[in-house]
Structure 1
Amino acid sequence: MFSKACEYGIKAAVFIAQKSLLNQRTSLGEISDEINSPRAFTAKVLQILARENIIKSMRGAHGGFYVEDNAIENVKLYNIVFAIDGDNIYNGCALGFKKCDENKPCPMHFQFKSIRDNLKSVLHQTSLHDLATDVESGISFLKI
């Protein structure tokens, strides 16, 4: 459903938010290990998230990646998906046609439209705080 970069971005942001809730910063290596992702690819994804002000980074001995307190609650999954994948997931054709809309729909257009609308709603409603607290409490996990 999401690109690999977006999957890593969501996992990384949730892990960083989880650490931030504990007033901790985390390193690229720790993030990469925790979400089971290639380090260099994770670094590129983190650059995107930092450029979009979803996460922050601080250099130095006490540095690392973190999410500001107000952002943990205010950043929604939509922000992460849009930063990495754009809005194609909401507009793209289920069958991959370049042109598919209400006027010239593919065979799955109308069925897929309701799925996309539901996904958009979930991504707009779900915050980093929601997911980070679920991971912290053990309800969900980031690594199998």
Structure 2
Amino acid sequence: MFSNSTKYAIKAVLYLAVHSSEEQKIMIKDIAEPINVPKHYIAKILQALSKKDIISSTKGPKGGFYLTSDQLQTKVMQIIETVDGEERLNSCLLSLEKCNSDNPCSLHHLVFDEKNKINERLKMTILKDLRQHIMRGESILPL
């Protein structure tokens, strides 16, 4: 359902949500290693997220990436849409271009309602909520 890029983006943003602040910025190499993503790959993803103001970055010796309190209000769906676009979540599981409610593939009716429920939850869930789950030990995050 998610591309690798989206998975990496969510992992990186959650890592920032837990470990960064405006005073505690994190460099690319310090994000890439714990989430197990090549530095150059995660750098491109983080730059795209920064351009959309989902995360913040500062250049220089004390630079790096971080989240502001406002950015902790970002919905998970905004990350997904920034990286993959909305089409990815609404696309056919079998990647059939002509699949839709009027012309369904064999899996369409099996997953359509559940995909819609997941999409709605992703549109409602904010980073701060996921961060709280991690901080309470209810979810894991690569360290």
Deviations 1:61-97 (A, max 9, x none): 221101111120x201100000001112332112211
Q: CA deviation at 1:137?
A: 3.0
Map of 1:134 onto structure 2: 133
The CA RMSD measured in Å over matched residues stands at 1.7
1:11–1:25: structure 2 CA closer, same or farther, 3 Å change rule? same
Whole-Å separation in 2 of the counterparts to 1:138 and 1:29:
25
Is the Cα–Cα contact under 8 Å of residues 6 and 84 in structure 2 kept in the other structure?
A: yes
Q: CA deviation at 1:20?
A: 3.2
Cα distance in 1 for partners of 2:9, 2:3 equals 10
User: Aligned-pair distance for 1:23?
Assistant: 4.6
Q: CA deviation at 1:22?
A: 8.5
Whichever residue aligns with residue 88 of structure 1, its letter is E
Aligned 8 A contact 2:22 2:68 in 1? no
1:25–1:63 CA contact under 8 A, matched in 2: yes
Corresponding position of 2:7: 7
Give the number of equivalent residue pairs. 143
Mark the CA change 1:18 to 1:8 in structure 2 (over 3 Å): closer, same or farther. same
Bigger mean CA deviation after superposition, 33-42 or 83-92: 83-92
User: What is the letter of the counterpart of residue 97 of structure 1?
Assistant: L
Aligned to 1:51: 51
Could you say which residue in structure 2 is the equivalent of 1:70?
A: 70
- TM-score under structure 2 length normalisation: 0.91
Percent pairwise identity: 33
What stretches of structure 2 of length at least 5 have no aligned partner? none
Say which SS state the counterpart of residue 69 (structure 1) adopts.
Answer: coil
Counterpart of 1:120, as a letter, is N
Deviation (angstroms), 1:36 = 1.2
2:20 counterpart SS class: helix
| Equivalent in the alignment of 2:17 | 17
Report the residue type matching 1:123 in the other structure: L
Q: Show structure 1 runs of 5+ residues with no match.
A: none
**Runs of 4 or more above 4 Å deviation:** none
